[in-house]
């Protein structure tokens, strides 16, 4: 289950750039950085993926 959750977070982050010209433009100009992350509801820890 964890692998599916992690893969989904990475896929969503990648699709933000692919599907939004505005976000892609801002990312290309280094004005924003989109990263994949996971929030654990049990302990409130946020895990950033590379």
Annotated domain spans of the chain: 2-48
Kindly state the average pLDDT of the residues 35-41.
96
Mean pLDDT of 43-50: 95
What confidence tens digit (pLDDT) does each residue in 5-34 have? 999 999 999 999 999 999 999 999 999 999
Query: What is the model's pLDDT at position 50?
Result: 84
The model's pTM: 0.80
Distance, CA of 11 to CA of 5 (rounded, Å): 10
pLDDT attached to residue 37:
97
Which pLDDT value is given to residue 36? 97
Nearest Cα to 36, choosing from 18, 2, 11, 19?
A: 11
CA dihedral 11, 14, 17, 18 (to 10 degrees): -70
What integer pLDDT is reported at residue 32 of this predicted model?
97
């Amino acid at each position: 289950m964890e692998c599916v959750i992690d893969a989904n977070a990475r896929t969503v982050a990648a699709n933000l750039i692919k599907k939004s010209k505005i976000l892609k433009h801002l990312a290309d100009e280094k004005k924003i950085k989109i990263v994949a992350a996971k929030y654990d509801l049990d302990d409130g820890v946020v895990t950033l993926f590379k």
